[in-house]
Amino acid sequence: MATYEASGLLAQFIPPPGAVRLAKKPALPSGGGTMGLVYTKVAQDVRYWRVRGNPATLLAWEKAHMPRTFSRQDVLIGPPSWNTVYSLPPVPRWYAAREINAQFYDVGGGETVIMADAMVAWVPARPATEVIPASVKVVTIAGNSTTGPEQATITAAPTVLRLARYVNELPVSTVGGAPCPSGWGFTLTFRDAAGGPPVAVAKGPGGCGVVTFRLNGKDQPDLMVVTDQASYDSTILNIAGLHWKLP
């Protein structure tokens, strides 16, 4: 499925007029590439073209002709490559990231080589053994330096179960091998009874949208916030009926 999605992304990339498709990767100037998150579950499709013209002009042409459904971000402007990343929104439970990394290389002689690398990070399913059980009856929500020093304990069964369901719906994180900034949102501690041992602890999101998760005292695979920290924090407070002020 992710492979087809990557090919579908690349089909939306239209090279400039006169571009000739290359059968294999050509020799490229060193020092190019992009910086960003590295995902562990990825499908890719890459194509190369050669065309007359300078990279900056061709990059501008591409920006004017990419579908408006893509957002874009320039990541490297200048020798040896001129790069723009075009992104589509993630698809909850399916795709954590969908993007085309377009790189334009000056190869001399008035010619440019274009690389379009479509990448789709897919989300593996969470096993039933790695979710908060429906037996929990208490949840404590604690803030920190980012979300405030507040702490609240909730025992209303519908609210506790809604919070547990929200955490259970987070996908397994596929972010790996990339330095992420520190910082945590909330710590949610679920128990079967007030004063009982923690059944599950969800802490986050931290850098790169990662939520750490413990179940019955054992670390589980990290989870991932597909939207952003502000949306996650607001949803937690809305479900809990709390009116804490967020930065």
pLDDT at 138 over 90: yes
Q: What is the pTM of this model?
A: 0.64
Arithmetic mean of pLDDT, 98-116:
93
pLDDT above 60 (res 178): no
Indicate the domain borders of the chain: 2-122, 128-240
* Confidence tier at 81 by pLDDT (50, 70, 90): confident
Residue 122: pLDDT band with limits 50, 70, 90: confident
pLDDT band at 35, cuts 50/70/90? low
> What's the maximum distance between 2 C-alpha atoms anywhere in the chain?
74
Ranges 74-83, 186-195, 203-212, most confident: 186-195
DSSP H or E stretch at residue 210: strand 210-215
Alpha helices in the chain (DSSP H): 2-11, 55-65, 157-168, 229-240
Residue (of 52, 42, 25) closest to 118 by Cα position? 42
pLDDT digits (tens, 9 = 90+) for 37-56: 577 778 899 999 999 999 99
Residue environment code for 31-61, b if the CB has 16+ CB neighbours within 10 A, otherwise e: ebebeebebebebbbebbbbbebebeebbeb
Q: What pLDDT, on a 0 to 100 scale, did the predictor assign at position 143?
A: 83
Q: 76: pLDDT confidence band, cut at 50, 70 and 90? A: confident
* pLDDT-above-90 percentage for the chain: 56
Check pLDDT > 60 for residue 30: yes
Q: What is the pLDDT of residue 145?
A: 56
200 residue type, one letter: A
Indicate if the pLDDT at residue 32 is higher than 70. Answer: no
Q: How many CB atoms neighbour CB 17 within 10 A? A: 9
